[in-house]
Amino acid sequence: MRNILSSLALAASLAAASAPVTALAEDGKDTVAYSIVADLTSQVGQRLGGTAREAYARDWAVKRLTALGLTNPHIEPYTMPGWERGAESAVLLGAAEQKLAITALGNSGATSANGIKAPMVYFASYEALKAAPDSAVKGKIVFIDNAMRAAQDGAGYGPYGTARRSGPSLASSKGAAAVLIRSIGTDHNRDPHTGFTGWDKGVSPIAAAAVSAPDADLIALRASKGVAEQVALTLTPRFTGNVQSGNVVAELPGRDRSLPPILVGCHLDSWDLATGAIDDGAGCAIVTAAALQAVKDGPLLRTIRVLWAGAEERGGFGGEAYAKAHAKEPHALAMESDSGAGRVWRVNIALGAADKVLGDTIAARLSDMGVVRGENKAEGGEDVGFIAAAQKTAVIDMGQDMTHYFDLHHTPDDTLDKIDPADLQQNVETWAAVLKIAGNAATIAPQG
Amino acid sequence: MRNILSSLALAASLAAASAPVTALAEDGKDTVAYSIVADLTSQVGQRLGGTAREAYARDWAVKRLTALGLTNPHIEPYTMPGWERGAESAVLLGAAEQKLAITALGNSGATSANGIKAPMVYFASYEALKAAPDSAVKGKIVFIDNAMRAAQDGAGYGPYGTARRSGPSLASSKGAAAVLIRSIGTDHNRDPHTGFTGWDKGVSPIAAAAVSAPDADLIALRASKGVAEQVALTLTPRFTGNVQSGNVVAELPGRDRSLPPILVGCHLDSWDLATGAIDDGAGCAIVTAAALQAVKDGPLLRTIRVLWAGAEERGGFGGEAYAKAHAKEPHALAMESDSGAGRVWRVNIALGAADKVLGDTIAARLSDMGVVRGENKAEGGEDVGFIAAAQKTAVIDMGQDMTHYFDLHHTPDDTLDKIDPADLQQNVETWAAVLKIAGNAATIAPQG
């Protein structure tokens, strides 16, 4: 790992986490963001959307936002389809028997409790599976490989992620017994990456899991030597029906409450394999600490609304519920932090044509802070993207360095030690700079 | 990870693994070592000492050594106490419930099948546990922290490893219900490090497991905030009585069979969590490929004997059995490779006083290859150390770069992708250089 705590940094983190949350550290540093993510990961831990752990996290969040002095922290509930992980194991059978490190994808179907045994068929990519005749797939355990590479902007996640998002449905539609994919990630740990998979209309969910990169290497090596693999697979996740989830919303009121607010969002839920430090504890820490820093010298003209969305990982349920609940309420600007804890290196600014000066002012301020300007296109993510799309709200995307993000994303390794406090704080500073400028802008038009 | 396969390197490894094992690759490179470890990890996998998997590995080894052209590859059996892993889980209980990533230490005792629940008591080190009164430990689950740091020569493993080797016995002697330790390692993955623990005479084995570094950070952070932890622990390993194991021994005969041989050793067994690529597939690959390279132009004066020892991880059983079986047979020189696949950077040479010129000749040759000379002290390891100590045999230790070794050591991450083929081959070249010189030395005296 790259961003790891040395023992000195751990000592610092312990000190930071123990400090009063709204205070500055002895050296004058703002420790709000680090304290939020340290406490969320250690006092709450995993908080899968739609589970009791997420509900516990919401209660914790309301308390923390209240303690931080935000106005009216409250929960906005909604319901969603529940899903929970069960037992999971996979073994390459035969004389050269080997256990694989696997984890079920979110929305995976299940095998029987005793598992299944079937031959495995190897595909080098989603496209290769797509091109295969159904007869090559029927009754088999499909393996889908990929070759994702790290990128500063995380660009590979879109195309390579297709194997995870759509591969299982495609395999099921071709009659596969189950599906395994190489983790959508860039690390070489035995820690598989979970994540959302979807089932096309009319397609039955089958057991679908990710294997870690080293296990995928093993499968690829054996496949290249013509080994006829027989696999024993047990996956017993279950759909738990309609369950309760919710968004946590709070505000820092502006001087003019008649003006549409600035919405800053993150997601409170995490996958269930780790403590959700970078995904997305860091994001909630960043948007909240930045909003607080922006109003440190007094309220801005506009209200900043903080959204800690629910159940993003399970399918953007919180962001969608927010958009529905607040559909009739105009928003001036939407921003989201859900790309880890790496430093901000680029800003994409999507404002209405009339707001060119505002965009240039923000870009110039960020340039002073070492952030380059990217394109005039921005859309947020699953948390603020639904409302922004519906209202054509102005959006600013703060592009974080994601070079190492997909080493950790959706794995058991998404833990506090991976966060570099200095990088986290650089996010807070750059976000606060944007919020101060935009929050004092008298007019912000929709994009189009 | 540092030494990882890029997709190009993976392609190269597939090609290497598919090539005839004694052949050179198309570019003229010697691929024997990489082929051995690629095939051992993919065709055999984990091979815990004293299990059927280790027996399978021995049969594979005899076949491979035969195919490589060594003389009389054979198994030298012995018996040893068996131990096998069972179920393992640990949860920090309470409102802020969190699952821990744990794995049983080798020789761990067991909880009941349904596990135990007990308060946890935190100790910052083995020494802190030692200093504590029994009353602070009795009936509790002891947690032992440590602060191991990476070092080029792996120096921290000795002192920090005490927490693992002796901590559980100490905790049991003080009346602990069970013991958890921070993994003895230098990584920040959710992959705990297993390893040998021993029980002092009269001390009853208790359940003993390692937690991953991020989980240990979590425990330390919560302990620093005064959280009173209650832990649910299930560990069901079992001692399996007297079981069969064995060493695999083969030779490259010298021109003068009356001269004592040079013994080059590694261990064939691995822990059961991974495929044992760096520990110690790499070692067996290095010593064997180096021996073959040393005799490429014809036999040396002395025989080189290759020892792929059994059950090293479980307690050096193979090395001890070898020393017993070959006690009356003099050995000229003993060398062992069991420090991973990092490049050789230092050589320690322990020869008899009469052999100063031989030592200087070897050191000068290695200096040409970029290897520095260390001290005149060397002892091998668990595989050749028993015979060397008994006979005061001359020993040369090839010091590998271990900076990243303890990121992977005894974890699920010890897989083929962690081996850099170029570093592995540098071991082969430097070892072969030493073997050529020592193998043609007419006299090699014992050390003392």
Amino acid A28: pLDDT? 63
Q: Which of B190, B176, B195, B183 is nearest to B233 (CA)?
A: B176
Residues 6+ apart with CB under 8 A from A63: none
Amino acid B30: pLDDT? 82
Hey, is the C-beta of A187 within 8 angstroms of any chain B C-beta? yes
Q: How far apart are the first and last CA of chain B?
A: 42
Hey, is the C-beta of A87 within 8 angstroms of any chain B C-beta? no
B108-144 per-position pLDDT tens digit: 999 999 999 999 999 999 999 999 999 999 999 999 9
pTM of the model: 0.92
To the nearest whole Å, the CA of A45 is away from the closest chain B CA by: 6
Taken in order B61, B66, B71, B72, is the CA torsion positive or negative? positive
Instruction: For residues A415-424, give the mean pLDDT.
Output: 98
- B75's tokens: 């198994």
Inter-chain CB proximity A221 and B14 less than 8 Å: yes
> CA triplet B329, B334, B338: central angle to 5 degrees?
130
B62-87 per-position pLDDT tens digit: 999 999 999 999 999 999 999 999 99
Amino acid B28: pLDDT? 63
To the nearest whole Å, the CA of A202 is away from the closest chain B CA by: 36
Binned at pLDDT 50, 70 and 90, residue B4 comes out as: very low
Which of A42, A95, A225 shows the shortest C-beta gap to B222? A42
Residues 6+ apart with CB under 8 A from B12: B421
Residues 6+ apart with CB under 8 A from A104: A85, A86, A88, A194, A207, A208, A209, A235, A237
CB of A253 closer than 8 Å to CB of A299:
yes
Inter-chain CB proximity A221 and B17 less than 8 Å: yes
Binned at pLDDT 50, 70 and 90, residue B95 comes out as: confident
Residues in B closer than 8 angstroms to A89, CB to CB, are none
Give percent above pLDDT 70 in chain B: 94
**Integer CA distances (angstroms), A236 to A118, A193, B232, B255, in order:** 17, 17, 23, 63
To the nearest whole Å, the CA of A417 is away from the closest chain B CA by: 6
Instruction: For residues A234-255, give the mean pLDDT.
Output: 98
The answer for B 198-227 residues in CB contact with A (under 8 A) is 213-214, 217-218, 220-222, 224-225
Q: What is the CA radius of gyration of chain A?
A: 22
Is 80 exceeded by the pLDDT of residue A4?
no
Is 80 exceeded by the pLDDT of residue B238?
yes
β partners of residue B261: none
Residues in B closer than 8 angstroms to A412, CB to CB, are 101, 190
Hey, is the C-beta of B248 within 8 angstroms of any chain A C-beta? no
Inter-chain CB proximity B149 and A7 less than 8 Å: yes
Hey, is the C-beta of B413 within 8 angstroms of any chain A C-beta? yes
> CA triplet A271, A273, A274: central angle to 5 degrees?
90
Inter-chain CB proximity A417 and B188 less than 8 Å: yes
Inter-chain CB proximity A191 and B190 less than 8 Å: yes
Amino acid A29: pLDDT? 75
Amino acid A14: pLDDT? 40
Q: Lowest-pLDDT range, A193-197, A226-230, A242-246, B170-174?
A: A226-230
Residues in B closer than 8 angstroms to A93, CB to CB, are none
Instruction: For residues B98-109, give the mean pLDDT.
Output: 98
The rounded distance, in Å, linking the Cα atoms of A45 and A299 is 33
Inter-chain CB proximity A191 and B191 less than 8 Å: yes
Instruction: For residues B173-191, give the mean pLDDT.
Output: 98
CB of B371 closer than 8 Å to CB of B310:
no
Q: Which of A72, A52, A53 is nearest to A62 (CA)?
A: A72
Which of A7, A41, A56 shows the shortest C-beta gap to B147? A7
- B269's tokens: 């067994």
Amino acid A3: pLDDT? 36
Amino acid B26: pLDDT? 56
Instruction: For residues B367-390, give the mean pLDDT.
Output: 97
Exposed/middle/buried for residue A235 (C-beta within 10 Å: 0-12, 13-18, 19+) = buried
Hey, is the C-beta of B2 within 8 angstroms of any chain A C-beta? no
Residues in A closer than 8 angstroms to B7, CB to CB, are 147, 149
Residue B98, Ramachandran bin (φ over 0: left; ψ between -120 and 50: alpha; else beta): beta
Inter-chain CB proximity B14 and A101 less than 8 Å: no
Amino acid at B366: L
A316-372 per-position pLDDT tens digit: 999 999 999 999 999 999 999 999 999 999 999 999 999 999 999 999 999 999 999
Amino acid B2: pLDDT? 32
Residues 6+ apart with CB under 8 A from B398: B335, B337, B344, B347, B371, B427, B430, B431, B434
Amino acid A305: pLDDT? 98
The rounded distance, in Å, linking the Cα atoms of B178 and B171 is 8
Hey, is the C-beta of B18 within 8 angstroms of any chain A C-beta? yes
Is 70 exceeded by the pLDDT of residue B20?
no
- B89's tokens: 């889980």
The answer for A 45-74 residues in CB contact with B (under 8 A) is 45-46, 53, 56
B246-266 per-position pLDDT tens digit: 999 999 999 999 999 999 999
Compute the mean pLDDT over every residue in chain B, rounded to the nearest whole number: 94
Inter-chain CB proximity B98 and A56 less than 8 Å: no
Prediction ipTM score: 0.90
The answer for A 389-408 residues in CB contact with B (under 8 A) is none
To the nearest whole Å, the CA of B190 is away from the closest chain A CA by: 5
Residues in B closer than 8 angstroms to A404, CB to CB, are none
The rounded distance, in Å, linking the Cα atoms of A185 and A82 is 25
β partners of residue A346: A372, A399
Q: Which phi and psi angles does B38 have, rounded to 5°?
A: -65, -45
To the nearest whole Å, the CA of A88 is away from the closest chain B CA by: 13
To the nearest whole Å, the CA of A49 is away from the closest chain B CA by: 16
Amino acid B25: pLDDT? 56
Q: Which phi and psi angles does B347 have, rounded to 5°?
A: -125, 130
Exposed/middle/buried for residue A56 (C-beta within 10 Å: 0-12, 13-18, 19+) = middle
Which of B45, B56, B221 shows the shortest C-beta gap to A42? B221
Inter-chain CB proximity A10 and B217 less than 8 Å: yes
To probe the interface with B, which of A39, A93, A408, A417 has the most B CB atoms within 10 Å?
Answer: A417
Residues in B closer than 8 angstroms to A10, CB to CB, are 217, 220
CB of B234 closer than 8 Å to CB of B114:
yes
- B447's tokens: 């050390």
Compute the mean pLDDT over every residue in chain A, rounded to the nearest whole number: 94
Inter-chain CB proximity B188 and A418 less than 8 Å: yes
Is 80 exceeded by the pLDDT of residue B24?
no
The rounded distance, in Å, linking the Cα atoms of B401 and B418 is 14
Residues in B closer than 8 angstroms to A4, CB to CB, are 188
Is 50 exceeded by the pLDDT of residue B340?
yes
Taken in order B420, B424, B427, B433, is the CA torsion positive or negative? negative
Is 50 exceeded by the pLDDT of residue B197?
yes
Which of B18, B101, B221 shows the shortest C-beta gap to A224? B18
Amino acid A316: pLDDT? 98
**Integer CA distances (angstroms), A169 to A180, A209, A434, in order:** 12, 12, 41
To probe the interface with A, which of B84, B414, B417 has the most A CB atoms within 10 Å?
Answer: B417
Does residue B434 or residue B8 have the better pLDDT? B434
The rounded distance, in Å, linking the Cα atoms of A59 and A248 is 9
**Integer CA distances (angstroms), B343 to A227, A436, B129, in order:** 32, 53, 37
Which of A14, A189, A224 shows the shortest C-beta gap to B221? A14
Instruction: For residues B339-343, give the mean pLDDT.
Output: 98
Residues in B closer than 8 angstroms to A56, CB to CB, are 95
Three-state secondary structure along chain B?
CCCCCCHHHHHHHHHHHHCCCCCECCCCCECHHHHHHHHHHHHHCCCCCCCHHHHHHHHHHHHHHHHCCCEEEEEEEEEEEEEECCCEEEEECCCCCEEECEEECECCECCCCCCEEEEEEEECCHHHHHHCCHHHCCCCEEEECCCCCCCCCCCCHHHHHHHHHCHHHHHHHCCCCEEEEECCCCCCCCCCCCCECCCCCCCCCCEEEEECHHHHHHHHHHHHCCCCCEEEEEECCEEEEEEEEEEEEEEECCCCCCCCCEEEEEECCCCCCCCCHHHHHHHHHHHHHHHHHHCCCCCCCCCEEEEEECCCCCCCHHHHHHHHHCCCCCCCEEEECCCCCCCEEEEEEECCHHHHHHHHHHHHHHHHCCCEECCCCCCCCCCCHHHHHHHCCEEEEEEECCCCHHHHCCCCCCCHHHCCHHHHHHHHHHHHHHHHHHHCCCCCCCCC
- A114's tokens: 């005793």
Amino acid A27: pLDDT? 62
Inter-chain CB proximity B274 and A190 less than 8 Å: yes
Residues in B closer than 8 angstroms to A416, CB to CB, are 214, 217-218, 221
The rounded distance, in Å, linking the Cα atoms of B440 and B299 is 9
Residues in B closer than 8 angstroms to A44, CB to CB, are 96
Instruction: For residues B380-402, give the mean pLDDT.
Output: 98
Q: Which of A69, A5, A77 is nearest to A310 (CA)?
A: A77
Residues in A closer than 8 angstroms to B220, CB to CB, are 10, 14
To probe the interface with A, which of B125, B186, B190 has the most A CB atoms within 10 Å?
Answer: B190
Binned at pLDDT 50, 70 and 90, residue A21 comes out as: very low
To the nearest whole Å, the CA of A7 is away from the closest chain B CA by: 7
Is 90 exceeded by the pLDDT of residue A13?
no
Inter-chain CB proximity B98 and A275 less than 8 Å: yes
A255-311 per-position pLDDT tens digit: 999 999 999 999 999 999 999 999 999 999 999 999 999 999 999 999 999 999 999
Hey, is the C-beta of B131 within 8 angstroms of any chain A C-beta? no
Amino acid B18: pLDDT? 37
Is 80 exceeded by the pLDDT of residue A5?
no
Hey, is the C-beta of A411 within 8 angstroms of any chain B C-beta? yes
Instruction: For residues A191-199, give the mean pLDDT.
Output: 98
Inter-chain CB proximity B225 and A275 less than 8 Å: no
